[in-house]
């Protein structure tokens, strides 16, 4: 059978792939998108209220029988296959799995929508200015990004408008706005919609944090606080994380971005098809991708441009399986978040099961002024987020106080008396890009189609522990001021090593010797191949990544559209020079 043909082949149709598909189809290009999961639509989640299926059993996530992943703490250890964390406790190294299907991570996400700060784009310079070169760990690659906040700001604004982000601006063109984040980078305008309704028990957190001198504000949420065209406002059902949105209030790309791409008539989607490799010609250009359909038959899809827009882990696996790693940088500088979960019980009902998780307010002080509290033991900060919604009973059982029995009368008594009075706070201390944390192909474990599994080598370090101790001290003081009856923290070194916030592995950089893609997420090695998403982040910060991932997708799309015009660097890449 002849290979399918398109101007652009996109592998993965999630948060980044959908944005790129919409941009390129509206620019006149024919796009073929290949997605290994189902072709979900808005109606698929109308009857979604099944915690056992979607949350506990990860119903819209890949499984280890088809997508095995192995983990080991260091290069000398033997890796093992582990399932995603299901059931009581989160004792597996693979925790909070990504989504599978059209929409990708935009299906399951809780919709925190951050812009990075200006400082996050120049991490090396900031650390050096504060501490000097002596604090950079041996074997680290802490760098300034090859793209700046100022360059991405228009793209942040554009994706906020398209996704329908709700929030309160804190800095518009350098003017501080009361009620917003006083530490955010300057924005060109307000959010498209006002903030969503706060969590039921949010006010005690706001009052306690304010009394202690912090600056709480509503988190930006990619959830509609008011109707917007065909999309309806949030109904605060309490089933956001791990669930599709049954009313379309969440910014899932199936209901925000893809309808515009389909309207052009230039987008074709192959669902339930698994890409196995990128095929590179002798002249070093990506000719096509090979994929397996739902029946197990092997096909090719040829494109003048090929874009890997899958999850960071899968992007890396595909690059390695395709032999695209001439400089040895693919898989390096793997970074994730340590959430440093902190839980407590209040004297009154918190309605922990109601509303969106992102309805809890945030303080960004520990992210902005971390250097004032560090002697170099930890090298970046994190916001602290109040978490008092979207927590169903089974999930509640997975986080009990350490003295609570797991069965019998004591267990039942706790659920009756305290589950409804639960609250949480968490931070997102980012690991540093170190040589010791990396991704490669497992030498023995393969999937059912004979493809090698991805192997994760990762462990926590001194930076993660020191930062967590400092952040938990702040959480404890806030909890005491709130009147919490008791509190309990998660381990400083948690058992998980996957968090849905995986970064690195195909990092961007100007130097082809130690990076995988350039500032436009274009492969250094294969010039008509783009690799986009969180894997391109050269360093990691304390924010959820989707806003930056989508802004970068727009940045890449602008580059492709510009450079495929006559006289551009990609002239002729689409088999024609566009005017």
Please state, in angstroms and as integers, the Cα–Cα distance from residue 431 to each residue in 339, 499, 542, following that order. 11, 12, 10
The residues, ordered by sequence, that sit 6+ positions from 433 with a Cβ below 8 Å of its Cβ are 140, 141, 142, 332, 333, 334, 335, 504, 507, 538, 539, 540
Tally the C-alpha atoms within 13 A of residue 347's C-alpha that lie toward its C-beta: 5
302 Cβ contact partners less than 8 Å away, ≥ 6 residues apart: 3, 4, 5, 6, 9, 287, 288
Look at the chain and count its residues: 579
Catalytic hit among 337, 458, 463, 501: 501
CA Rg value for the chain: 23
User: What DSSP letter does each residue of 279-306 carry, written as one string?
Assistant: EE-TTS-EEEEEEE-TTS-EEEEEEEEE
Q: Are 157 and 125 in contact (CB under 8 A)?
A: no
Between CA 535 and CA 192 the distance in angstroms is 28
- In whole angstroms, give the CA distance from residue 148 to residue 141: 18
Element at 267 (helix H, strand E): strand 267-271
In the residue annotation, 215 being an active-site residue is answered as no
Q: What are phi and psi of 463, to 5 degrees?
A: -60, -45
Dihedral sign for Cα 132, 133, 138, 143, please.
Answer: positive
* Beta-bridge mates of residue 9: 32, 306
Q: What are the residues whose beta carbons fall under 8 Å from the beta carbon of 341, sequence distance 6 or more?
A: 399, 424, 426, 489, 490, 494
Any idea what DSSP says for residue 185?
A: P
The residues, ordered by sequence, that sit 6+ positions from 346 with a Cβ below 8 Å of its Cβ are: 201, 204, 421, 422, 423, 482, 483, 484, 485
Concatenate the DSSP letters of all residues of 342-376 into one string: EEEE-SS---TTSS-GGGS-EE-HHHHSGGGG-SS
Query: What CA–CA distance (Å, rounded) separates 224 from 141?
Result: 38
Q: What is the largest distance, in Å, between two alpha-carbon atoms of the chain? A: 75
Quick check: 370 and 349 in contact, CB under 8 A? no
DSSP for residue 523: B
Rounded CA-CA distance 489/344 in Å is: 9
CA proximity to 518, closest of 509, 531, 507, 526: 509
To 5 degrees, how large is the angle CA 137–CA 139–CA 142? Answer: 65
- Catalytic positions: 501
């Amino acid at each position: 059978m002849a290979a399918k043909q398109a101007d652009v082949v996109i592998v993965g149709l999630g948060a980044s792939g959908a944005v790129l598909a919409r941009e390129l189809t509206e620019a006149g290009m024919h796009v073929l998108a290949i997605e290994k999961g189902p072709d979900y639509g808005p109606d698929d989640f109308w009857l979604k209220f099944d915690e056992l299926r979607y949350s506990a059993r990860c119903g819209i996530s890949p499984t280890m029988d088809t997508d095995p992943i192995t983990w080991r703490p260091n290069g000398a250890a033997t890796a093992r296959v582990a399932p995603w964390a299901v059931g009581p406790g989160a004792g597996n190294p693979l925790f909070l799995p990504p989504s599978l299907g059209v929409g990708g991570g935009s299906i399951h996400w809780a919709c925190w929508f951050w812009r990075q700060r200006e400082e996050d784009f120049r991490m090396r310079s900031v650390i050096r200015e504060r501490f000097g070169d002596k604090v950079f760990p041996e074997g680290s690659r802490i760098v300034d990004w090859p793209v700046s906040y100022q360059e991405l700001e228009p793209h942040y604004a554009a994706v906020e408008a398209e996704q329908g982000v709700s929030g309160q601006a804190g800095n518009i063109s350098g003017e501080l706005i009361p009620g917003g984040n006083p530490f955010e980078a300057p924005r060109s305008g307000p959010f498209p919609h006002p903030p969503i309704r706060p969590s039921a028990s949010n006010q005690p957190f706001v009052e306690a944090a304010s009394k202690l001198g912090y600056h709480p504000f509503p988190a930006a949420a990619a959830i509609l606080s008011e109707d917007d065209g065909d999309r309806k406002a949030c109904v605060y059902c309490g089933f956001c994380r791990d669930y599709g949105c049954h009313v379309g209030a969440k910014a899932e790309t199936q209901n925000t971005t893809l309808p515009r791409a389909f309207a052009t008539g230039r987008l074709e989607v192959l669902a339930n098809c698994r890409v196995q490799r990128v095929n590179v010609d002798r002249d070093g250009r990506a000719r096509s991708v090979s994929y397996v359909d739902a029946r197990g038959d092997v096909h090719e899809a040829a494109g003048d441009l090929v874009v890997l827009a899958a999850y960071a882990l899968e992007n890396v696996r595909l690059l390695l399986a395709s032999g695209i790693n001439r400089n040895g940088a693919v898989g390096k500088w793997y970074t994730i978040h340590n959430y440093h979960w902190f839980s407590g019980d209040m004297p009154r009902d918190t309605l922990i099961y109601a509303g969106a998780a992102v309805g809890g307010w945030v303080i960004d002080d520990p992210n902005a002024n971390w250097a004032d509290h560090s002697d170099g033991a930890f090298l970046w900060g994190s916001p602290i987020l109040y978490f008092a919604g979207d927590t169903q009973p089974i999930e509640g059982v997975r986080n009990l106080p350490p003295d609570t029995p797991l069965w019998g009368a004591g267990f039942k008594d706790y659920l009756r008396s305290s589950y409804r009075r639960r609250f949480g706070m968490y931070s997102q201390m980012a690991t540093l890009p170190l040589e010791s944390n990396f991704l490669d192909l497992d030498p023995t474990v393969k999937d059912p189609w004979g493809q090698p599994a991805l192997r994760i080598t990762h462990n926590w370090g001194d930076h993660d522990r020191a930062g967590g101790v400092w952040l938990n001290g702040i959480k404890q003081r806030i909890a005491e001021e709130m009147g919490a009856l008791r509190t309990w923290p998660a381990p400083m070194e948690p058992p998980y090593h996957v968090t849905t916030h995986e970064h690195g592995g195909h990092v961007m950089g100007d130097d082809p010797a130690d990076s995988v893609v350039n500032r436009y997420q274009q492969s250094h090695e294969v010039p008509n191949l783009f690799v986009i998403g969180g894997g391109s982040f050269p360093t990691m910060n304390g924010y959820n990544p989707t806003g930056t991932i989508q802004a970068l997708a727009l940045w890449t799309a602008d580059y492709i559209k510009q450079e495929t015009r006559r006289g551009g660097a990609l002239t002729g890449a689409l088999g024609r020079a566009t005017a």
